[in-house]
Amino acid sequence: MAAVEKRRQAVASAASRAAVAAADSEEDFLRQVGVTEMLRAALLKVLEARPEEPIAFLAHYFENVGLRSPANGGAGEPPGQLLLQQQRLGRALWHLRLAHHSQRTAFNNNVSVAYECLSASGRKKQPGLDGRTYSELLKRICRDGEAPEEVVAPLLRKIQCRDHEAVPLDVFRAGMLTCFVLLEFVARAGALFQLLEEPALAAADRRVAQAALDSLEGALQAGDGANVPAHYLEAGSRLGPDGLALAMQRAAAGRRPCVPMMRDEFLGKAAALFIAKVKPVG
């Protein structure tokens, strides 16, 4: 009786052991081929960036991981110096774009990772980032940001470093942040212009557009001086729908005919207001 019982127990435990072993082997398998590690890294990135569409974010993330893996030509003969440089730039850009700049912690982390990517260059040279790479990265960001070239060019002149200069991390971080903020600023200004624009003419009334720019300038001036939160509030109220509408209405009331303002001019002027606030490097 007891023997039967014991045997039954043995059978049962053998079965459960087999199940456990199967689960174990699956876990082992996942660990061995690197799935566990890859998913953990991906999940951490998702949590850091908190994207609006996490699934699309993951698809994009894994696509990049795939491109970097040695299975895709990375392990072949060593690529040329130029290609290597392009790859590094691409990787740095990818890291920089993972989180929006308003999520400052995540963005700062990504900036550091991008900095490491770029500075781990040739074996012979000292580690560090030179001005040439930094400038090229800035150019790439602006080009991909779809802002007109002549609009962002003044910023690049201001925050660029000389080709042979070494770029420290804080300069790099400030440069990246300024660049991304400017791009968003230009995008917003573009949206504003679209509202002002007359679709038939593809241009806006100069007085109204100028009034919008003036209130923008006024708001930015208000931010000068000591870094007091009250300034932010004042700037916000000047740019609030009421303030802006009032200024534009006043402008539209003046009945002088004039040349309409085109999109590029508007964006250029708006960006100039922003860029005037940027401190030059050095």
Q: Which residues bind another protein (CB under 8 A)?
A: 26, 29-30, 33-35, 38-39, 42-43, 46-47, 50, 52-56, 58-59, 62-63, 65-66, 69, 71-72, 100, 102-103
Q: Which is nearer to another protein, 62 or 232 (CB)?
A: 62
Q: Which is nearer to another protein, 38 or 220 (CB)?
A: 38
Q: Which is nearer to another protein, 72 or 249 (CB)?
A: 72
Minimum CB separation from another protein for residue 146, in Å? 15
**Bridge partners, residue 198, by sequence:** 203
Minimum CB separation from another protein for residue 10, in Å? 29
Minimum CB separation from another protein for residue 103, in Å? 7
Q: Which is nearer to another protein, 177 or 272 (CB)?
A: 177
Query: Is residue 270 packed enough to be buried (19+ CB in 10 Å), middle (13-18) or exposed (0-12)?
Result: buried
Half-sphere exposure of 278 (CA within 13 A, CB side): 26
Q: Which is nearer to another protein, 42 or 262 (CB)?
A: 42
Q: Which is nearer to another protein, 25 or 81 (CB)?
A: 25
Q: How many Å from the N-terminal Cα to the C-terminal Cα in the chain?
A: 90
Measured between alpha carbons, how far is 158 from 281 in angstroms, rounded to an integer?
A: 6
* Secondary structure (3-state) at 114: helix
What is the C-alpha radius of gyration for the chain, rounded to an integer number of angstroms?
Answer: 28
Residues 85-94, buried b or exposed e (16+ Cβ, 10 A)?
beebbebbeb
Cβ pair 135, 163 in contact under 8 A: yes
Minimum CB separation from another protein for residue 262, in Å? 26
Measured between alpha carbons, how far is 185 from 193 in angstroms, rounded to an integer?
A: 12
Q: Which is nearer to another protein, 58 or 278 (CB)?
A: 58
- DSSP letter for 166, please: B
Scanning the structure block, which residue is given the tokens 């895709």? Answer: 72
Minimum CB separation from another protein for residue 250, in Å? 30
Minimum CB separation from another protein for residue 58, in Å? 5
Minimum CB separation from another protein for residue 54, in Å? 5
Helix axes 241-253, 229-239, angle to 10 degrees: 50
